Amino acid sequence: MIFVDTSALVAMADRSDYYHVPAADYLRSLTIAAGGLVITEYVLDYVLDETFTRLRLTIGHSPAAAFGNAIMTSNLYTVVNVDARIFRLAWGWFKKYDDKDFSFTDCTSFVVMKALKLEKAFTFDRHFAQAGFACCPGNDMG
């Protein structure tokens, strides 16, 4: 299984995003047989929340809602709800790494990846590599 980050979701949905083409190409290369994709979701500012909000600002409400519906009804994704234990562990990551500029959403994603024993992230966010995860598609991340 592969973890999916906000940067990849935004790139898939927003044709003007710098990473749109590599994201679309990479997504096409994935199959459900390979284990699917994992996204974290929580009521607060986590991957889906972050994605839908960013898309609403960049491509508008209707396309953001349509993309959200596609994600939420797809069999390709497993939505992981972050509970209080994961929140506390993410808070620990956030406090520990004062030498990094990890967002709290990043830290939550890292904890979920560790809990699910995921080593790869579909992302264009360099923080995942800094945290020790393999990044796919693996091109020049900002």
Taking CA atoms, 89 is separated from 86, 95, 103, 105, 122, in Å, by: 5, 10, 14, 12, 22
Give the total residue count for the chain. 142
Place of tokens 């906000």: 6
Domains of the chain and CATH, by start: 2-136 (3.40.50.1010)
Q: What is the pTM of this model?
A: 0.85
Helix (H, G, I), strand (E, B) or coil at 134: strand
What is residue 32's predicted lDDT score, i.e. its pLDDT?
46
Taking CA atoms, 82 is separated from 31, 54, 63, 108, 117, in Å, by: 25, 20, 26, 8, 16
Would you write out the chain's pLDDT as a tens digit for each of its 142 residues?
788 899 999 999 999 999 999 998 887 776 544 556 666 533 345 899 899 999 999 999 999 999 999 888 887 778 888 899 999 999 999 999 999 999 999 999 999 999 989 898 999 999 999 999 999 887 555 4
* CB contact at 8 A, 79 and 116: no
What is residue 43's predicted lDDT score, i.e. its pLDDT?
32
DSSP 45: S
- Vertex 27: Cα angle to 23 and 33 (nearest 5): 160
What is residue 31's predicted lDDT score, i.e. its pLDDT?
55
What is residue 108's predicted lDDT score, i.e. its pLDDT?
94
